[in-house]
Copies of this chain bind each other. A is one copy, B any other.
Amino acid sequence: MPTPTRARLSPEERRAQLVALGKEMLSTRPIDEVSVDDIAAAAGISRGLLFHYFASKRDFHVAVATAAAEEMLDNLTPKDPDVDGLDQLRSSLTALIDYVDAHRASYLSLVRGAMSGDPDMQALFEWTRARVTVRVLEGFGYRPDGPAVVPLAVRGWVGFVEDTVTTWLQGDGLGIDRDAMLDLLERSLLALIRAALDVAR
C-alpha cells in the first residue's frame, strides 16, 4: 500500500486513484472484502469523501471490477501483432491462466460470488465476454459475412473457458497440470470452430 497522502488531486485523479487502490486490493481478496474503509484510509481521505466519488459501495465495487476486467483484457492482448493466430492464441491463453491463478480469490468472487447477479456486473461480464469473442474471431480472420454459427461457437467457448477454469481452480487443479489445461483450452477452441464450420456446411 502506498503511504497515505492528502495531496490535492483533481476529481478524475482521485477517482482513478481510489479505483487503482481497489484493484490492487482485489488481487489478494474477494470483491466483497474490498472494504471502502480500508481504501479511504489508504488514500488518506475520509469514508465520506469516497462516497463523494461513488454513490455506494456497490458502485465502487462495479468500478473496481470494470478496471480489473480491462486489466485482464489488456493482458490477453498479444504484445507482438506480427505473430500468427495460433501463437497469439497460445500466448493469450497462457496470460489468462497466469492471471486467474494469481487472482484466484477475486476471480472466483467475481464470476461466482454474491455480486455476480448484479445487473451492472452482468453487463460488465457480457461486455467482457463479447470483447474476448471479437478478439478471437479477429485473430482467426473471421469476416462479418461468415456463418453466424461461428461467432456463437466462439462465444460458447468463452463460457467453456470460464467454467473449466473455475472448476479447475475450485477443485485445486483436479490433478490436471497447467500445460494440460492450456492444451485443453487451445484444442477446444479449434475443435469448436471446426464443429461450427461443419454445422454451417
Contact = CB atoms under 8 A, between A and B. Distances in A.
Given A112-B122, A159-B164, 18 more contacts: A116-B116, A116-B122, A117-B118, A129-B163, A148-B174, A148-B175, A149-B184, A152-B167, A153-B164, A156-B161, A156-B167, A158-B163, A159-B159, A159-B163, A160-B163, A188-B191, A190-B195, A191-B192
A61 B159 CA distance: 26
A194 B191 contact: yes
B184 A191 contact: no
Interface residues of A, number: 44
B160 A192 contact: yes
Q: What is the predominant secondary structure among interface residues of chain A facing chain B?
A: helix
Interface of A: 112-119, 121-122, 129, 148-149, 152-153, 155-164, 167-168, 174-176, 180, 183-184, 187-188, 190-192, 194-196, 198-200
A188 B159 CA distance: 13
Given A156-B160, A156-B164, A199-B183, A176 B191 contact: no
Contact of A188 (B162, B174, B180, B192): B192
Given A119-B114, A162-B159, A164-B153, A198 B188 contact: no
Contacts of A118: 114, 117
Nearest to A114: B117
